[in-house]
Amino acid sequence: MFRSLIFVSLLLCGTSLTFAEEQWQAGVARVAITPGAPMWMAGYASRKKPAEGTLAELYAKALVLEAGENRVVFVTTDLIGIPRTLAVNVSQRVKEKYKLPRKSLLFNASHTHCGPELRPERDYFYGMAEAEAKQIGVYTEKLETALVELIGAALADLQPATLSYAKSTADFSKNRRFPTDEGFVNRQYNEGPTNHDVPVLQVFSPAGERRAILFGYACHNTSTGIMQFNGDYAGFAQSDIEKDFPGVTALFVEGTGGDQNPYPRGKIELARQHGRKLADAVKRAVHEPQQPLPPAIDSAFTEVELEFEPLPPRAALEADVESKNVYRQRKSRYLLGKLDRKEPIALTYPCPIQAIRIGETLVMVAIGGEVVVDYSRLVKSTFRSVPFVWVAGYSNDVFGYLPSARVLAEGGYEAGGAMLYGPLPGPFTGSVQDRVMAGVRRVGTDVGFSFPKSLEQQQ
């Protein structure tokens, strides 16, 4: 039944005359977002103090692509994640200021573990002092305005462009779910699934000058945990590409790297080395024969409600208060506090899902959360008839891990273990993958693709 997947080109089926006359407009902009004041870093709960200076600048960058009436803004960031509230606030301000609908905005985070902590309530889970916790609000407020202005700057930069696509690979990303008799542990596992694709979208001026390179990779941005701000391998890859191609803006899109780590890891030199490898992969793609992309773009955005398992009984939470594990203590106190204050504990969470379609050739599907690598395969098989399928994770919200049915059933850190370090009640119920893939098909349909009804059973 897969073979009967029909490729419907609603977007392109306007008059051919209009199509021929249209051309791409593209704009780029960047803003440095490295905190000016000492702040806690995000990603490793074991850190006990704020960052100690800056090794490499952190950036937010924007690329606007416009064809005809439609625009999409790719906003990429050297951050652990864009929290939902921040994405919602920026989207609202951008809608009012620039008339851009939500579906036209994609926020992606590189998931560097050497950027500032900006996720709600992590101050409690990390044990920050009150004054340190306040910095999160101060930083986030400034970042919100910086992102709105960044998008405005990219829109102001719109000028005629041509686009092309090519793909390469890099192999430093490895599966990190190592099976043992006691369950899955976080260690290099060469037998586990990976996705080594390096998708590369290039933007040129009509005269052929290269202006921007949007590229992706599916791997945790965790070569190191040093105490100085830096963008890890993805940050070094972007700065290397910008050195390799002077005048270019390089924008990194984190893929389905939820259960993938860069190996070897543990030293800042390795972050630079992996960054160079990724920049070299991009360079190879740039020199490959290019797939020209015709000027046609459309996007769609939705949210699917993911379900959590019911909370543990109160007695179990009370027992955890006495745990020797400080994180287990904090989590049980957090949940018991909410119960005692009669505050609602939501047992669902809205996961954002977005599709960006470029002509007949390329579709990018961007999913919220720390998306595990299985979703690359699942999304690609859903869009089987599209030549190039780019699957982004860490998009529009990074609420926590997004396990596939396989990972959820296997258990371990990405299946729910990681929820100990944050506010989600977790783990997700067994419906998580079906709900996400239903959302993927919904946004796919909204941008003009159609899927056979039997697809659900076949995944």
Binding-site ranges for Zn ion (CB under 5 A): 370
Q: Which is nearer to Zn ion, 66 or 117 (CB)?
A: 117
Closest to Zn ion by CB, 68 vs 81, is 81
| 113/435 with CB nearer Zn ion | 113
CA distances to 61, 84, 334, 355, 400 from 432, rounded to whole Å, are 31, 19, 25, 19, 13
Look at residues 61, 17, 66, 57 and name the one whose alpha carbon lies nearest to residue 35. 57
| Least Å from the CB of residue 274 to Zn ion | 16
Nearest CB to Zn ion, comparing residues 66 and 370: 370
Closest approach of Cβ 176 to Zn ion, in Å? 10
CB nearer Zn ion, residue 320 or residue 370: 370
Q: 362 or 418: whose CB is closer to Zn ion?
A: 418
Running DSSP on this structure, what letter comes out for residue 170?
A: -
Spatial separation of the C-alpha atoms in residues 178 and 14, rounded to whole Å: 51
What is the closest distance, in whole angstroms, from the C-beta atom of residue 56 to Zn ion in the complex?
A: 20
User: Closest separation between CB of residue 72 and Zn ion, Å?
Assistant: 26
Shortest distance (Å) from residue 260 CB to Zn ion: 10
Query: Considering beta carbons, is residue 389 or 402 the nearer one to Zn ion?
Result: 402
- The number of residues making up the chain comes to 459
Regarding beta strands 370-371 and 177-180, do their DSSP bridges make them parallel or antiparallel, or are they unpaired?
unpaired
- In angstroms, rounded to a whole number, what is the distance separating the alpha carbons of residues 111 and 400? 11
| Among 287, 345, 278, 348, residue whose Cα is nearest residue 314 | 345
Yes or no: say if 165 and 290 are a contact pair by the CB < 8 Å rule: yes
Q: Which two tokens stand for residue 156?
A: 């102001």
Contact yes or no for 252/287 (Cβ under 8 A) = no
* CB of 123 or CB of 370, closer to Zn ion: 370
The CB-nearest residue to Zn ion is 370
Q: Are 90 and 118 in contact (CB under 8 A)?
A: no
HEC states along 140-151?
HHHHHHHHHHHH
Report in angstroms how near the CB of residue 104 gets to Zn ion at its nearest. Answer: 27
State the minimum distance, in angstroms, from the CB of residue 386 to Zn ion.
28
In the complex, minimum distance from the CB of residue 383 to Zn ion, in angstroms, rounded to a whole number: 26
d(CA 277, CA 279): 5
Would you state the structure tokens that stand for residue 131, as one six-digit string? Answer: 């004054």
Question: CA dist 221 to 78, 79, 433, Å?
Answer: 10, 10, 24
Which amino acid makes up residue 105? L
Query: Residue 11 gets which letter from DSSP?
Result: T
In the complex with Zn ion, the residue whose CB is nearer, 162 or 260, is 260
Report the nearest approach of Zn ion to the CB of residue 370 (Å). Answer: 5
Q: What is the largest CA-CA distance in the chain?
A: 72
Q: In the bound complex, what is the minimum distance in angstroms from residue 369's beta carbon to Zn ion?
A: 10
Q: Which residues pair with 278 in a beta bridge?
A: none
Cβ distance to Zn ion smaller for residue 197 or 370: 370
Residue 370 near residue 221, CB atoms below 8 Å? no
Residue 315 tokens read as: 């007695």
